[in-house]
Amino acid sequence: MAIELNEPALRHARALVREGKLVRDERDDWSEAAPTADEENAFIEREGWTEYSHWHLGIDKSENGRTKQAYSFPFGDFRKVHRSGVIAGESRAGQHDHAEVRDALKKLLELIDSEG
What sign does the dihedral 43-56-86-30 (CA atoms) show?
Answer: positive
Under DSSP, the state recorded for 76 is: B
Q: If DSSP codes are grouped into helix, strand and coil, which group holds residue 73?
A: strand
- Please write the tens of the pLDDT for every residue from 30-62: 999 999 999 999 999 999 999 999 999 999 999
Which residue(s) pair with 58 in the sheet? 5, 72
Consecutive H or E run containing 13: helix 7-18
How confident is the model at residue 1, as a pLDDT?
60
pLDDT over 60 at 116, yes or no: no
66-91 pLDDT, tens digit each: 999 999 999 999 999 999 999 999 99
β-sheet with 3-5: strand ranges across:
3-5, 56-60, 71-74
For the chain, the domain total comes to 1
Domain assignment of residue 26, given as a range: 3-114
Query: Do residues 25 and 83 make contact, with C-beta atoms less than 8 angstroms apart?
Result: yes
